[in-house]
């Protein structure tokens, strides 16, 4: 939601294309996330799950209502030239705005992967996730690393929101449209697995598109959740995670 508003503003004021503006959304929201982790979430890392849910849901309610106060409840969208255009590959039509969003997602995934695999901060993030005390023993400031990791996480969400703005309009509660799907993607792939999330995302997308060929479009999510539940019965830890 914040990422979408960020690029909506850079589009409406500076006429920057949302996809080109998306790195800016990433950077701004990275710092927002860093600060939220540092001043709020850091204090409840060891607290019971209920406290963590209260805080994070509370933060969401605060942010949504602040957005409501500032921006109102209007749906806002951008107008870009390629919005209604599509590419024809034989019988297949690919909408340009979906294609650009997909390509942008591929690029950021590649960048994230490279960052995690080869940089010092990437290694530190993996080390803290695997064994926080040991990471401290080799000189990693685990607290700062958590801040950066959380900033990256929400920055990526903002980036994702930004690149879909050409075909989705933004409102203060837009986030909740995606949160259920997002949980499905993550749980389907396997909680805590990056490759799993990627696989889950592709599987969810393909199921949604294919089911709408066969069934009425309003049954799209019904089909998805039936398959989701069936997968969890067979593989309770998700597609790519061993028990």
Partner 1 sequence: MLKIENLSGGYSEIDILHGVAISIEPGETVTIIGANTAGKTSILRAISGVLPRVVGMIVLDGQAITHKPAHEIPALGIGHVPEGRHVFPRMTVEDNLFMGAYSARRKAKISSALEGVYKLFPRLLERRKQMAGSLSGGEQQMVAIGRALMCNPKLLLLDEPSLGLAPIVVDEVHEAILAINASGVSVLLVEQNASLALSVASRGYVLEDGRVVLQDTAEALRTNPEVRRAYLGI
Binder of partner 1 out of 112, 142, 182, 240 (CB under 8 A):
142
Asked whether position 135 contacts partner 1 by CB under 8 A, the answer is yes
Kindly indicate which of the ranges 15-23, 124-132, 153-161, 175-183 contains the residues binding partner 1, using the contact rule CB under 8 A: 124-132
Binder of partner 1 out of 29, 80, 140, 152 (CB under 8 A):
140
Asked whether position 127 contacts partner 1 by CB under 8 A, the answer is yes
Phi then psi for residue 140, to 5 deg, are -90, 130
Q: How many C-alpha atoms does 195 have within 13 Å on its Cβ side?
A: 3
Cβ count near 152 (within 10 Å): 20
Q: Is 190 left (phi over 0), alpha (psi -120 to 50) or beta?
A: left
Residues in contact with partner 1, counted by CB under 8 A, come to a total of 17
Binder of partner 1 out of 13, 50, 89, 137 (CB under 8 A):
137
- Cβ proximity to partner 1: between 13 and 133 the closer is 133
Binder of partner 1 out of 120, 233, 234, 243 (CB under 8 A):
120
The least distance separating partner 1 from the CB of residue 121, rounded to whole angstroms, comes to 10
The least distance separating partner 1 from the CB of residue 203, rounded to whole angstroms, comes to 23
Cα angle vertex 149, ends 97, 139, to 5°? Answer: 150
- Cβ proximity to partner 1: between 112 and 231 the closer is 112
Which residues, 6 or more positions from 158, have their beta carbon under 8 angstroms from its beta carbon? 2, 3, 4, 6, 25, 26, 28, 29, 30
List alpha helices for the chain, DSSP H.
Answer: 2-14, 18-39, 49-71, 96-118, 120-130, 132-137, 142-164, 174-189, 194-214, 220-234
Kindly indicate which of the ranges 42-50, 58-66, 67-75, 137-145 contains the residues binding partner 1, using the contact rule CB under 8 A: 137-145
Chain positions contacting partner 1, by CB under 8 A:
120, 123-124, 126-127, 130-131, 133-142
């Amino acid at each position: 939601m914040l990422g979408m508003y960020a690029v909506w503003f850079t589009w409406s004021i500076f006429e920057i294309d949302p996809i080109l503006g998306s790195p800016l959304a990433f950077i701004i929201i990275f710092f927002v996330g860093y600060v939220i982790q540092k001043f709020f979430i850091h204090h409840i890392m060891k607290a019971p799950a209920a406290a963590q849910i209260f805080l994070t849901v509370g933060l969401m309610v605060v942010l949504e209502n602040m957005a409501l106060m500032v921006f109102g409840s209007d749906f806002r969208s951008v107008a870009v030239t390629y919005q209604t255009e599509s590419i024809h590959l034989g019988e297949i039509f690919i909408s340009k705005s979906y294609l650009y969003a997909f390509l942008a997602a591929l690029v950021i995934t590649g960048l994230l992967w490279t960052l995690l695999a080869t940089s010092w901060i990437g290694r530190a993030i993996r080390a803290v996730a695997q064994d926080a005390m040991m990471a401290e023993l080799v000189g990693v400031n685990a607290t700062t690393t958590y801040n950066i990791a959380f900033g990256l996480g929400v920055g990526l969400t903002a980036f994702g929101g930004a690149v879909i703005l050409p075909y989705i309009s933004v409102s203060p509660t837009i986030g909740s449209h995606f949160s259920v799907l997002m949980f499905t993607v993550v749980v389907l792939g396997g909680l805590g697995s990056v490759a799993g999330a990627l696989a889950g995302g592709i599987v969810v997308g393909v199921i949604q598109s294919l089911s709408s060929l066969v069934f009425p479009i309003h049954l799209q999510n019904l089909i998805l959740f039936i398959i989701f539940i069936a997968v969890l019965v067979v593989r309770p830890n998700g597609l790519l995670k061993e028990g």
